[in-house]
């Protein structure tokens, strides 16, 4: 695999991490505001992205090894 592809995967992982953390933070704020529907939506989207991050982490780990 080309090094540029590997680096692109790492960059995507980092961006997903930022977006996921932001969604979790926003969900927490909505919970504090008792906006449970919005909090649930944000939490669900963050969970889905987190799963994708885990999958991508496996791919990256396999490519490193």
What digits encode the pLDDT tens for the residues 10-19?
999 999 999 9
Model confidence at 25: pLDDT above 80: yes
- Domain total of the chain: 1
Model confidence at 65: pLDDT above 80: no
Is the Cβ–Cβ distance between 20 and 47 less than 8 Å? no
Q: Give the domain range for residue 42.
A: 3-64
pLDDT at 1: 77
Concatenate the DSSP letters of all residues of 16-60 into one string: HHHHHHHHHHHHHHHHHTT-HHHHHHHHHHHHHHHHHHHHHHHHH
Give the mean pLDDT of the chain: 96
d(CA 8, CA 22): 21
pLDDT at 55: 97
């Amino acid at each position: 695999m080309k090094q540029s592809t590997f680096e692109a995967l790492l960059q995507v992982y980092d961006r997903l991490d930022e977006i996921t953390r932001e969604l979790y933070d926003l969900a927490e704020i909505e919970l504090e505001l008792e906006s449970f529907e919005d909090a649930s939506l944000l939490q669900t989207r963050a969970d889905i992205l987190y799963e994708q991050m885990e999958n991508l982490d496996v791919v990256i780990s396999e490519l490193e090894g």
